[in-house]
Structure 1
Amino acid sequence: MKKLIIPFILMCVLIISACSDSTKNQATEDASETITYQSENGPIEVPAHPERVVVLTGNAGDLISLGINIVGVDEWSMESPLFKDQLKDVTVVSDEQIEKIIELQPDLIIGASDNNNLDKLKKIAPTVIYTYNKVDYLTQHLEIGKAVNKEKEAQDWIDDFKKRANTVGNKIKEKIGENATVTVMESYDKDMGILGDSWGRGTEVLYQAMGMKMPEKVKEMTSKEGYYMISSEVLPDYVGDYLIVSKYNGQDNSYQNTDLYKEMPAVKNNHVIEVDGNTFLFNDSLTLDYQLNYFEEQFLK
């Protein structure tokens, strides 16, 4: 009986060992597999299954929503409360910290066309760069999906988001009127600006996804740069029926205590919606979902 058991045990060991070797070989093949991504600067070979990504743009939320592991991220992304849990163990890096990025051993870098040291970054890992607002916000999400081999997942989110935003937009316009206008402004340090339809801070959701209208003067002045810097004294000239105010903690918001501000119709009618600047800064998929839900709650409450 013992003579029969020993060969059986040996056979099991060999089978387990073979399965283990097969798994290791598969993992190695997966790690070395690449795809060709058609970037804005031409084709580039990138990992088919990236495992260690450094992000030097405001697109961390897109990668998080697609289930991509981030090992390094820009400082602004780290400031978003929406990414706090997902980025808690991630290293903050900049395009100037080449040695720090090398230590992270990335297999893919997502950068911006205006990043410094792009030649050095490309020597560390395949580097895909994007130019801000070169494509619309939904196409940007799709492009990032393609770059990390998650195109279907990205497209599924886009299709769902468009439906949800259209439904919410119709509800809001039914309540406030089809022709009601909305202005988005931001005060940061001593600067104040009004924003166009593609500058983060909820503008894509309001104007593009939900179809809200902006005042003609805002449309005119933001048509070139996407934003327009003003002084607080002329703010009433740009404010429509509703005002979205993007605010940052610790900033000087004393203009809100002036008679000029308080006498604006949007303020007197309680049509001001304040948002946290760090939370609303980006236009990635996670942030867009949050913005849509927030606007639905605020406009329809």
Structure 2
Amino acid sequence: MKKRLTIPFLLLLTLLVSACGNNAETVSQNEGGNKSETFTYEAENGSVEVPKDPKRIIALSNGPNVMSLDGKLVGIDEWSSANPLFKEKVKGVEVVSEDDLEKIMELEPDLIIAGSEMKNIKKLSQIAPTVAFTWGKLDYLSQQVEIGKLLNKEAEATAWVEDFKKRAATAGEKIRTKIGKDATVSVIESGNKEFYVFGNNYARGTEVLYQAMGLKMPEKVKETALKSGIHTISAELLPEFAGDYMILSKYADGDNSFLETEVWKNIPAVKNGHVFEINAKASTYSDPITLEHLLSFYEKSFLKE
């Protein structure tokens, strides 16, 4: 009796094992199918499997770079959202922070871009593939190419970089010819009770002026702001940091009473009409959208008849 049951039982067991094997193969094939639509991106926070064509990106960092490549954003940080240059790009995009984990989950992202300093990167990685960048680790052009790699648009990003460098260099030559090769330019921003002077890599168009165009900064600025990127001064010190030309990064809704002071009015660049004002809220990034805007503004400002 027992022997007669053994053969059917073994046959059934063999069929079950075979079926399990077939299922495992199907899963493997499915996984392989998914992998054909993803690739491994070597990020600062490790190797991350990311989609080749992300459809729902949350950019807690580097949002403007993503916008410039027409990335499909569903979430953005508040500073990028409030920037007037990106008004059209952020329509319908939710404002989120790294702490809005529930809201981020609800947005169902397939890619999250974060700052390496953010404390919730591990939690974000549990929601979707998360890639972290350290601000300033890459120069402004390399950062754009890197975002291009992440979004599978490296060729597009690289082409823009090469074209921008050529156009900016040409503009720089024209400007130096007009204002003099030794003429200096300083970039200053008004705060509540203090002022900031900038080096060559702290947005406000400094990358365009100093790196791409090759214009000169005053020695005092070079000594104090070139290495750190930014230097804080009082109103009384403005004349010491003013160049032959000044870019004034100004908040329209800020305290701009300094414009009526004798200290300001007696600066040579002010007397000579060599002060060009930019919107501080629209100048705090170094992405292609901002860079193109400022390149055009500087060309018109310096080369106006």
TM range (shorter): 0.7 to 0.9
| Residues 46-92 of structure 1: per-residue CA shift (max 9 Å, x gap) | 111111000112x2222122121000000110111111111111001
Deviates more, 1:67-76 or 1:221-230: 221-230
Asked if structure 2 preserves the Cα contact closer than 8 Å seen for 1:207 and 1:214, the reply is yes
Matched, 1:36 2:40: yes
C-alpha distance in structure 2 between counterparts of 1:113 and 1:35, whole Å: 21
- The aligned residue for residue 302 of structure 2 is 299
- The aligned residue for residue 55 of structure 1 is 59
Unaligned runs of 5+ in 2: 1-31
After TM superposition, the runs of 4+ consecutive aligned structure 1 residues lying more than 2 A away are 28-32, 40-43, 188-191
1:281 positional shift: 1.2
C-alpha distance in structure 2 between counterparts of 1:223 and 1:243, whole Å: 16
- The aligned residue for residue 78 of structure 2 is 75
- 2:221 is matched with which residue: 218, 221, 235? 218
The change in CA–CA distance for 1:30 and 1:153 in structure 2 (over 3 A counts) is: farther
- The aligned residue for residue 255 of structure 1 is 258
- 1:186 is matched with which residue: 185, 189, 197? 189
C-alpha distance in structure 1 between counterparts of 2:248 and 2:119, whole Å: 32
Instruction: Map 1:102-121 onto structure 2 (within 5 A).
Output: 102-121=105-124
The change in CA–CA distance for 1:99 and 1:189 in structure 2 (over 3 A counts) is: farther
1:116 positional shift: 3.0
Residue type matched to 1:49 in 2?
D
- Taking only aligned residues, the RMSD between alpha carbons, in angstroms, comes to 1.6
- The aligned residue for residue 46 of structure 1 is 50
- The aligned residue for residue 99 of structure 2 is 96
Unaligned runs of 5+ in 1: 1-27
C-alpha distance in structure 1 between counterparts of 2:189 and 2:118, whole Å: 25
C-alpha distance in structure 2 between counterparts of 1:30 and 1:67, whole Å: 23
- The aligned residue for residue 238 of structure 1 is 241
C-alpha distance in structure 1 between counterparts of 2:222 and 2:60, whole Å: 30
Asked if structure 2 preserves the Cα contact closer than 8 Å seen for 1:60 and 1:284, the reply is no
- The aligned residue for residue 85 of structure 1 is 88
Could you say which structure has the larger radius of gyration? 2
Secondary structure in structure 2 of the residue aligned to 1:68: coil
| Residues 146-167 of structure 1: per-residue CA shift (max 9 Å, x gap) | 1111110100000110011011
Number of equivalent positions: 273
Residue type matched to 2:187 in 1?
V
- The aligned residue for residue 66 of structure 1 is 69
| Residues 109-131 of structure 1: per-residue CA shift (max 9 Å, x gap) | 11111223111111111111111
1:43 positional shift: 2.5
Q: TM-score by structure 1 length?
A: 0.87
- The aligned residue for residue 5 of structure 1 is none
Residue type matched to 2:134 in 1?
T
C-alpha distance in structure 2 between counterparts of 1:181 and 1:153, whole Å: 34
C-alpha distance in structure 1 between counterparts of 2:60 and 2:251, whole Å: 22
- The aligned residue for residue 143 of structure 1 is 146
Deviates more, 1:29-38 or 1:109-118: 29-38
Secondary structure in structure 2 of the residue aligned to 1:164: helix
Identical aligned residues as a percent: 52
C-alpha distance in structure 2 between counterparts of 1:256 and 1:162, whole Å: 34
- The aligned residue for residue 277 of structure 2 is 274
